[in-house]
Amino acid sequence: MRKITLSFTLFVAFLLIVSCGNSQAVQSSQEAKTSLNASVQQAEVEELLNYLSSNELKGRQTGTEGIELAAQKIESIFQKNDIQKYFDSYRHNFETNGVKGFNVVGVLEGNDPRLKDEFIILGAHYDHIGIQKPVEGDSIANGANDNAAGTVAVVELAKMLAEMDNNKRSIMFVLFSAEEMGLVGAKRIAQRLKEDRLDLYALFNFEMIGVPMNDKEYIGYLTGYENSNFAEKFNEYSGEKVLGFLPQAKEYNLFKRSDNYPFFEEFNVPAQTISTFDFTNYDYYHHVADEAEKLDVAHMTNVIESVIPGILKMANTPEKEIKLNQHDAGR
């Protein structure tokens, strides 16, 4: 009788251990899910968008007081959220045609002794075209969709990823200037980072994400879609179709028309841009009416939240899984 009782007692203890283990596993899974699906604050997205595209900044043209104010705002957010400096300051300075410009650069160092020397860059240009010919009395090209929206995405991602602090690879956040002058800021910093022998895994650029596309099964399209397995792997990492193919992006060769391209040229790695501007859903490109009130802040918030799982997975895989397709490798 004692033997049966002992066996029963051991069986109950086993069930309790298994139950406890399962409970801990479920809790751990829930915590991981909560961490992965971090909640981006829509009010903060809207606040930063409104500031960057306000009349006070006068269109953020490179070399003006307006872009200086934009840079100061971004720097203050980086500092508040413990984003580190890559250079001596958050600024990478350059000059083009007598105009002084500066990219704003921050780094979230990876926590893996080996992988932290590999970098992912999240980028967007924060400049615009400034004061233009008046239209109905308005001469300020505020650049809300182009590209305060992308800038907000990168800054909010910096905040969220710093809070999570679970990236094995290092993540660099770059806000490019002089994009509107011919991708100058991106070209200069790509050259500088190449000189530094930065081990760049991939660059993910954000351009005009302020309004949703119509009748698409994905959230944003990826320029240079066919050049790499970026979209395929990113969607796999995300568990949903975040990135898709837009025929017009290939038709207009958008891959070469944003700040991703200088990094592709310098580093020969996947360097691509996400956008939701599909040529039918926004009429105010380089127009004084490109203002914050015309953008869909809920959509922007969704874009930012939706890319977090894919970025985290990119930052934590043991090997570099996102690669150029064979015809683009070895350039």
> According to the model, what pLDDT value does residue 331 have?
52
Nearest CA-CA partner of 279 in 311, 309, 257: 257
The predicted model gives 1-27 an average pLDDT of 40
Q: What angle do CA 297, 149, 189 make, to 5 degrees?
A: 155
Query: In the chain, how many domains are there?
Result: 1
* Residue 329 confidence class, pLDDT cut points 50, 70, 90: low
Neighbours of 219 (CB within 10 A): 23
Residue 282 is assigned to a structural domain of this protein: yes
**Alpha carbon distance 295, 282 (integer Å):** 9
Q: For residue 182, is it within any domain? A: yes
Does the residue 30 lie in any domain?
no
16 within some domain: no
Q: Quick check: is 9 in a domain?
A: no
pLDDT greater than 50 at residue 289: yes
Q: What is residue 29's predicted lDDT score, i.e. its pLDDT?
A: 33
What pLDDT, in 10s, does the model give residues 242-272? 999 999 999 999 999 999 999 999 999 999 9
Residue 138 DSSP SS3: strand
Whether 21 shows a pLDDT value over 80: the answer reads no
Q: Domain for residue 42, yes or no?
A: no
For residue 118, what are the β-bridge partners?
199
Q: In CATH, what number is assigned to the domain containing residue 256?
A: 3.40.630.10
- The pLDDT mean for the chain works out to 90
**Residue 255 maps to a domain:** yes
pTM of structure: 0.88
**What pLDDT is recorded for position 23?**
40
Name the residue range of residue 243's domain.
Answer: 55-316
In a domain, 123, yes or no: yes
Asked whether residue 7 carries a pLDDT value surpassing 70, the answer given is no
Residue 240 carries which DSSP code? S
